[in-house]
Structure 1
């Protein structure tokens, strides 16, 4: 099964082509340029350099959230566009699970993917690596670092932090005396391969969707929506 995977949930952008669990090619860019400028050319060049056409791709996958509202919209819109014409199945992969897949080769290790959600919160889910498989211990959620610290303290086991919020959490959690480690630099940030690996699991579970059914999973209201609700509540007071 050939999977084209897109990752645009945070500052870095990535695209990958995989066949089952094998990485064929991957492109990664952490330059600060907008994803609307980089993501589609990245996909086009990646396929061309692999000698593949879009028709040869079986599944189009994307990191569907949580993450940056703008980044998720760009990624999902790009995946829809790539899949629609050929009526290809899509996989909306948890961004947090995709990050955890990069460390799934470890054995009985606690993985703590984290993304900076602003407003003193992080997006997080907890997993255990099982030597090539993942055991999910929590659902994706937005919570404060204080709440996360409490959960990890109760767990009482070394946590490996991965994701663009790992540095922030490492500093805050070590201040609280928690046993945490950073993932290696080359595995720290979100990647297209992680998205592809998560998509493979969804395919095996029969959980692929159509391009029309693909949607972001924000896990929190956008700033614009929060401001709108605040104004409405103020008017009703």
Structure 2
């Protein structure tokens, strides 16, 4: 499958892909994939933050951790409160590792795999959610997009509830089609984590060879490098995929 300058090649071994939808036009490409079993989807509700509230990003998640990041107009020590989604138990708290700042990266640890959590920043009334990675045999879904999808991305994420998005769309600080969904799921691009937060603080991902491990999937993003075979050694992965920037 070729789209623009992206040559997307799937190398699949011992995997059951149970749901596969593809939408293509001259303006955009959308790929919805569910891997390793049947996934049961809920509905993710998006709520606009209250006036003056920060809009955080889910930078990354693993089976037991999540990283929440945001910028603030004032300097303070960032705090994230969280608890299992749908519960009313007293929330737990995670804080910035360093002192007061206007750049906040809070790492939440001790989470359960394939679990959804509700979180909020400090005294904010806005509530968001994220989901941890599944075990290697657990089902999950993700979206792969290119081009401009406009408001469609919000409705798709709300209904399909993917665990992450791989984007080949042009994103800048001024034009970000994913701004509404970043507080809920991580966004990845051909060069690594796609993040307005990282761009703002000068920590953009560098182009080249990198890999994304998620559940039982390993996706390798290559620029034609001969070192790509070094990343095929993934004992925990039952699915290997290669995304190449060369045609």
Establish whether TM, by shorter chain, passes 0.5: no
More strand by share: 2
Taking structure 2 as the reference length, the TM-score comes to 0.24
